[in-house]
Each structure stands twice: as C-alpha cells, then as structure tokens.
Amino acid sequence: MSKKTILVTGGVGFIGNCFCKLLLRERPNWKVVNVDSCTYAANMNTIKSELENKNYVFYKADIRDRKAIFDIFSKERPDIVVNFAAESHVDRSIENPAIFLETNILGTQILMDASLSIGVSRFHQVSTDEVYGDLPLDRPDLFFHEDTPIHTSSPYSTSKASADLLVLAYFRTYKLPVTISRCSNNYGPYQFPEKLIPLMIHNAIHNEKLPVYGDGLNVRDWLYVEDHCRGILDILDKGQVGEIYNIGGHNERNNLYIVKTILKALGKPESLIYFVNDRKGHDRRYAIDPEKAMKELNWAPTTSFEDGIINTIQWYKDNMWWVEDCLNKNK
C-alpha cells in the first residue's frame, strides 16, 4: 500500500478515534492527520498513545472555521478526507438545533471546499441510518436500503441528511470524488457516557438508577465500532465514487434488552431500571440491510453482539477513570 496522507475529522471522538487507531495499526506507512474541535464530548486521554506515534498529527480546529481548515489542508495536502466530525446527540439537537446545522451542514461544506482546493482523491462522509427515519415494530421484514427515501425525525438526523445531499451535489456539480456510509448504532470503548450503553454501564456500576425512555421497546441495530471502521476502510479501498453504503450489524435489540443485559453482566438488580417520559419524535426501529457493502466490498461484521457487549462492559469496568474524567470535565 503506497504512502498516503489521510485527514480524519472528529478523531478524538468515539468512532473517529477508533478509525485512527485502526489506520495506525494497519496502514503504518500512512500519515494520519486528526482535526477535532474538542467539544464537550472530547477527552484528550483518548488519543494519548496516538500522540506518541510519528505518523500521527493532531490539530485542534473547528470545521466551521474556514481559514483554519484551509490552512491545515494547504499544509498537510491530504490525499483522503474522512469526515466523522458532527454533533450527534439527538436530545441535544432537540434542545439546540442551531449548532447541529452549523457543524453538520456548513462544516461539511467547508471541508469539501478545502478538498476541492487541493484535489483530494476521496472525500468520505460518515452518516447515519437515522436519515431514513424509522420502521414499524410489527414489520421485522422491513429494512433500510441505500435507496430508501430520506424521512428524518430530529434536527440531528435532518442535519446529517442535509449534509449527505450536499455531498452528492458536490459530486455531481464539482466532480468531487465522494463516498457516503450510513451506519447503525455503534458501541464499544471510548464512547462518551451520554449514549445509552456507556451511561447504563456507568450507572449500574455505581448503583444509580438507569433511565429508560418510554416503554424501552425501541429497537436499534447494534454495530461494534471496529466493524464499522473496517467497513469505512473497505469503502476507501474498494468503494465506487458517488455511491452510498449501508454499514449495519444485523444485531437488532430493543433498549430494555440492552439495559437488562448490562445489569445481568454486572450482577445488578433490574430494580435499578426506571422509565422516563419518551423523547420527542422518538424513532421506534432502525434496521439496516448491509447487503451492498457485503457484495461489493466483501465486508461483514466480525463481532457478535454477545461478544461485543461483554468486551465493552469489561472495558468500561477497567477504565472507569476515563468515564469519570469525561463527566468531571463537563460539570
């Protein structure tokens, strides 16, 4: 594999950091440039080992800052750009939509403008299955496909769908070589403890109540984070420019099942569960059909949910200091 420079935005975050770790392991002759604004969800301890790697460079910069982004692109001249940078917490998007629109849409535009200015060979946009809306619980035969119409429910998913459309417009209008991936719910190490699995693990370990929205029967397709990152690397290697690829785990579980699994693994009572008012516009079921990625890229998830959730719980048990560090930083 020839030497390349790859610029990763949001590389201090959960999925972006996992992708950087994967690159440094499996593409040791590549230079990895991480650009992250370090919002509330960032913890610099996440990239402590990466900062010691001679092939890794970190810039603290906001993708909404056109001058800063253009300066970085001009200096580093990346061959490939992978955009993980995003505001991603649905609850926060309901409370304050503006920052989601600014970062997820306008920030993506600035990255693409910078990419055009130096002629990158690939711009990859990391999106979400939430752009498709939701599916009914009583139709387990239905799945999201790449041509499923966009039908968003929250300001977050709308901002990501808007960015996807903008990416495809840049492909058609400016011939920017783009690809898009839409993934299902990720889980694994280093996920900020506002998301379901790390929050529930943290609360259970501390014998605190575990809040569950509504009836807890909302279904998500769970994907181990490294499987997702390998899918993105496969898209960069073998994906067709201008195409969208769904990356899903075929691991559908409802939220209540997830919470009970965590409690059982930690030896905690189900009496810690309590139900709270449902989220506004809460999607009932997400389910991705990843057949296109499997056929065209020879990609498939390798981590079963049963193994992945145990590995994840153990990681948080062993690294609760990291979780507390995240929480203390945001007090």
pLDDT at residue 328, rounded to an integer: 84
pLDDT over 90 for what percent of the chain? 78
Instruction: Compute the distance between CA of residue 311 and CA of residue 294 in angstroms, rounded to an integer.
Output: 25
Residue 220: pLDDT above 80?
A: yes
The closest of 328, 323, 298 to 313, measured between CA atoms, is 323
Helix (H) or strand (E) holding 107: helix 107-118
Three-state SS annotation for 186-229: EECCCCCCCCHHHHHHHHHHCCCCEEEECCCCCEEEEEEHHHHH
The closest of 230, 226, 236, 237 to 190, measured between CA atoms, is 226
SS3 275: strand
Which has more confidence, 85 or 93?
A: 85
Contact 276, 229 (CB under 8 A): no
Q: What DSSP state is assigned to residue 26?
A: H
Which has more confidence, 100 or 227?
A: 227
pLDDT at residue 1, rounded to an integer: 60
pLDDT at residue 282, rounded to an integer: 73
pLDDT tens across 104-162, in order?
999 999 999 999 999 999 999 999 999 998 888 888 888 999 999 999 988 889 999 99
The residues annotated with a catalytic role in the active site are 129-130, 156
Helix (H) or strand (E) holding 309: helix 305-318
Residue 90: pLDDT above 70?
A: no
Q: Give the rounded distance of the alpha carbon of 78 from its chain centre.
A: 21
Give the pLDDT band (50/70/90) at residue 31. Answer: very high
* Averaged pLDDT for residues 233-258: 95
pLDDT at residue 250, rounded to an integer: 83
Question: Which residues are paired to 201 by β-bridges?
Answer: none
Instruction: Compute the distance between CA of residue 221 and CA of residue 236 in angstroms, rounded to an integer.
Output: 23
Instruction: Compute the distance between CA of residue 78 and CA of residue 59 in angstroms, rounded to an integer.
Output: 14
pLDDT at residue 41, rounded to an integer: 77
Residue 172: pLDDT above 90?
A: yes
